[in-house]
Structures are given as structure tokens and as C-alpha cells.
Amino acid sequence: MKKALITGVTGQDGAYLSKLLLDKGYEVYGAYRRISTPNFWRLEYLGIRDKVKLIPFDLTDSPSILAAIKNFEPDEMYNLAAQSFVEASFDQPVATGDITGLSVTRFLDIIRQIKPDAKFYQASTSEMFGNAKQFPQDENTPFCPESPYAVAKLYAHWITKNYSQSYGIFASSGILFNHESPIRGEEFVTRKITSGVAKIKAGKVSCLELGNLDTRRDWGFAQDFVECMWLMLQHRTPDIFVVATGENHTVREFVEKAFAIAGLELGWEGEGKDEVGKEKRTGKVLVKVNPKFFRPRDVDNLLGNPAKAVEHLKWNPKKTSFEDLVRIMVEADLKREQG
Ligand code: NAP
Ligand code: F7E
């Protein structure tokens, strides 16, 4: 039986990847951060809480990385743990650099010393492209990171390639574009919208406040994307792959789709003002723009080209459409609100 170590097992991708690997017959070791209140709701949501072998672990703590690898000798390691929220990286740039960037060197160097035959997957990101000049973005697009998060991920990306080339470690990076699901964190815009829509429908809140509505993202379904992580480690050589759907939408379009699916009439702030600038009562649910959700710098337009993953890994980028993704998320949040 193959053994896999997944860091960030309490996160969205960690949960979906655990499920995928358990279904494939792997023994799954889930590395989680020990905090005062355990955070296993995603594993519970997918019904795998008692199937994953949970190991306390922190990416900033080398002894805990060493113990996880030494004690369990995993064949495959998926490094999904990170401070992954772009907005927070502007407030905590040093912690983000340490956890999301430097820790990958800690991890790889322990692999080099004690388990060099293991395969390693690094969770790279489309944020590394930043405001790229090339559309769509592929494996050859120059990087232009626009946040401390993206800078940290770019460091992690390069050190993964460096360890692979320098020491012959099977270390691959997936440059994943945004991927979402019903177990996405509520800080991220898609889940903020779908949970907001469900709360509005339940009469708990009356409006939704967002930041930049004009940015475009290539949004896919997390359950489809984790499959590509696994495929990368089954490939004959370590490599770098863009993972994306090849289609993008604005935040505004996501809002419109979510409201339509929930059967709510959408009104944008300002569209119903009277002569003295007072908001008219239109009966519509208002979406307001609040400057506090704008970032010091944003990435305007991301669109990925998954052709290499399609050709070499036989991965299907079109398994879940944008419409289906929004529907899956809205319906799950409506169900949650109904208890
Ligand atoms: P997520 O839901 O935010 O999960 C992040 C995980 O990292 C959580 O389990 C978190 O643990 C853990 N973590 C944070 N700091 C840690 C530390 N110091 N030591 C150990 N664990 C730590 O992220 P995700 O959406 O699943 O994404 C998975 C990975 O892919 C991340 O590296 C992310 O940056 C990257 N990525 C994501 C996307 C996307 O669209 N989702 C796209 C490209 C790349 P707690 O539960 O304790 O906080
Ligand atoms: O923002 C805009 C915001 O926070 C998307 C992470 O998984 O994907 C994710 O990073 C866009 C941005 O994701 C709000 O300004 C508007 O332009 O959902 P997000 P992200 O920053 O793209 C990449 C690939 C990762 O690697 C990251 O780990 O939406 N936006 N209004 C908003 N964003 C948020 N969060 N909240 C708002 O109210």
C-alpha cells in the first residue's frame, strides 16, 4: 500500500486530495497544525475524518517535518500547507514569507537528507504570474508577483525546481489557478458570495459587501484540480504544469450567477439613487462596494492554458463548468442555512 503525506490537510485541497488518495487505496497521513480548537470540519464534511492518520506538524518547525518523514516514510508528499490568503499577506508579509516560502526549503532539505527517493508536490499558484502581459498564461509565461504571498510562492516554486535539478529529487510544481468548492474558506471571494447569498435568502443579512468587482479569475472546481496533483506525481519525470480551466470571469459575473441560482433579485449600490442621492427602495438585494476589501495591489486578469496537463497527464480541465461550480457552491450553502 502506498503512503502519502499531505500537509495542510485541514484546508480545502488537503481534504479533497485525502479523499481522492483514500479512494485509490493509499494510506494517508494528514499533517495538521495543532491549535486550541481542532479544525477538522472539512474532513468531516467529506466523511473521511477517521480514515486519515492525523499527525501534528508545523511548517515553521523543522523537527516536526523531520518526525513526520522519519516516522512514516511516505512515498509521496504533497505540500499544500501555506498562509494562502493574498489579502492577509499584505498585513503579515514576514509570516507569509516564512510559512509559504522558506518552509519549502526546510521540507526539501529534510527530504534530501533522509528520504531522497520520495516524490514531492509543491502547490504553486497563478498568483506568481501577477499582472502578466501574456494571455493565456502557460508554463513559459514570465512571472510578475504582485503580493507578499505571490513572492513567497515564487521562492517556493524556484527552490522546488532547484532541489529537483541539483539533487535529483522527484519534485514537481503545479501552477494552479483559482479553484473553489463548498469547503472553500469564507474569506475567499467565491465562498463569501455563496455563503452571503444563502444568509440573505435565510433573512439573516440584508446585503453583501465586496471589494474589486472587475478582476477576472479562471475558476475551477477543487475536486477536479486535486486529481491533477496526483497525476503529476505519477508522471515519469518531475515537471511543472499549469492547471486551469482556460476560461475566466469577473467577480461581478460570479455575483450575478450566484444571485440568479438562488432566485434573488440583484441590485448594485448606486443604481437606485434618487435626485438627492438617497438609496431608493427597489426591493432588490444590494451588493455594496466597500473600499476596505481592496488590496494595496491586485491582479486584474488571470487566464490559464492547461494544454500541457491535458496532453501529458490526460487531465480534463472541462469536467465542471463555471455554471455548475457556482451552482454546487450556492446549493451547498443554501442547504447549510436550512440546517
Ligand atoms: P487553505 O484552505 O487555506 O489551506 C491551507 C492549509 O495550510 C490549512 O490546512 C492550514 O492549517 C495550513 N497551514 C497554514 N499554516 C501552516 C503552518 N505553519 N504549518 C502547517 N500547516 C499550516 O488553502 P487551499 O485552498 O486548500 O490551498 C492549498 C494550497 O494550494 C496552498 O498552498 C495554497 O496557497 C495553494 N493554492 C491554492 C489555490 C486555490 O485557488 N485554492 C490556487 C493555487 C495555489 P489551519 O487549518 O491550521 O489554518
Ligand atoms: O480574490 C477580489 C479580489 O481572495 C479573488 C487563493 O486561493 O487564488 C486565491 O487568491 C479576487 C481578487 O482569491 C472581494 O480583490 C473582490 O481580485 O478569492 P480571492 P485570490 O486572491 O485570487 C490564488 C490562485 C491563490 O493561490 C490563493 O491562495 O476577488 N475581491 N471583493 C475580493 N476578494 C476577497 N477575498 N473578498 C472580497 O470581498
24-68: pLDDT as tens digits: 999 999 999 998 887 999 999 999 999 999 999 999 999 999 999
- In a mutational test of the pocket of ligand 1, which residue from 7, 9, 33 has the highest number of ligand atoms less than 8 Å from its CB? 33
pLDDT of 274: 55
Q: Same domain, yes or no, for 229 and 277?
A: no
Q: Same domain, yes or no, for 175 and 312?
A: yes
- Cβ neighbors of 132 (< 8 A, separation 6 or more) are 141, 142, 143, 144, 302
Q: 10: which DSSP letter?
A: T
Other Cβ atoms within 10 Å of 110 Cβ, number:
18
149 counts as catalytic: yes
Q: Same domain, yes or no, for 194 and 76?
A: no
Calculate mean pLDDT across residues 109-133: 98
Residue 11 confidence (pLDDT) above 90: yes
8 A C-beta contact, residue 104 and residue 125: no
What are the start-end ranges of the H helices in 75-208?
86-91, 93-96, 103-114, 148-167, 189-201
Calculate mean pLDDT across residues 114-143: 98
Residue 71 belongs to what H/E stretch? helix 62-72
**What gap in Å lies between CA 208 and CA 186, rounded to an integer?**
13
Identify the CATH number of the domain in which residue 113 sits.
Answer: 3.40.50.720
Identify the CATH number of the domain in which residue 260 sits.
Answer: 3.90.25.10
pLDDT band at 210 (very low <50, low <70, confident <90, very high): very high
Catalytic residue among 16, 29, 121, 149: 149
60 counts as catalytic: no
8 A C-beta contact, residue 42 and residue 10: yes
pLDDT of 267: 87
Burial of 302 (0-12, 13-18, 19+ CB in 10 A): buried
- What the block records as the C-alpha cell of 5 is 503525506
Give the residue carrying C-alpha cell 516554486. Answer: 157
**What gap in Å lies between CA 142 and CA 138, rounded to an integer?**
9
Q: Same domain, yes or no, for 275 and 333?
A: yes
Q: Same domain, yes or no, for 93 and 233?
A: yes
Query: Each residue of 251-303: pLDDT tens digit?
Result: 999 999 999 999 999 988 876 555 555 555 566 777 999 999 999 999 999 99
Q: Same domain, yes or no, for 201 and 127?
A: no
Q: Same domain, yes or no, for 231 and 276?
A: no
Nearest atom (ligand 1) to Cα of 12: 26
Residue of 322, 315, 156, 191 lying closest to 243 (CA atoms)? 315
253 counts as catalytic: no
Q: Same domain, yes or no, for 201 and 89?
A: no
Catalytic residue among 26, 29, 76, 127: 127
Q: Same domain, yes or no, for 30 and 162?
A: yes
Number of domains in the chain: 2
Q: Same domain, yes or no, for 158 and 138?
A: yes
Q: Is the pTM for the entire model greater than 0.85?
A: yes
Residue of 133, 151, 152, 153 lying closest to 141 (CA atoms)? 133
Nearest atom (ligand 2) to Cα of 82: 28
Residue 78 confidence (pLDDT) above 70: yes
**What gap in Å lies between CA 169 and CA 106, rounded to an integer?**
14
Of all ligands present, the nearest one to the C-alpha of 183 is 1
Can you say whether the dihedral through the CA atoms of 248, 148, 151, 105 is positive or negative? negative
pLDDT of 10: 98
**What gap in Å lies between CA 193 and CA 181, rounded to an integer?**
12
pLDDT of 285: 73
| Cis before 136 (ω within 30) | yes
Residue 285 belongs to what H/E stretch? strand 285-289
Calculate mean pLDDT across residues 128-146: 97
pLDDT of 272: 59
Q: Which residues is 289 bridged to in the sheet? A: 210
Q: 6: which DSSP letter?
A: E
Catalytic residue among 100, 125, 141, 160: 125
Q: Same domain, yes or no, for 284 and 312?
A: no
Q: Which domain holds residue 289?
A: 189-215+250-299+325-338
pLDDT of 275: 58
pLDDT of 38: 79
3-state SS class at 263: coil
Measured by CA distance, the residue closest to atom 8 of ligand 2 is 178
**What gap in Å lies between CA 240 and CA 20, rounded to an integer?**
21
Calculate mean pLDDT across residues 202-223: 96
Calculate mean pLDDT across residues 231-236: 98
Calculate mean pLDDT across residues 225-243: 98
On average, the pLDDT of the chain sits at 96
The percentage of residues in the chain with a pLDDT greater than 70, rounded to a whole number, is: 96
- What the block records as the C-alpha cell of 1 is 500500500
Q: Same domain, yes or no, for 92 and 11?
A: yes
Go through the chain and tell me how many residues it has.
339
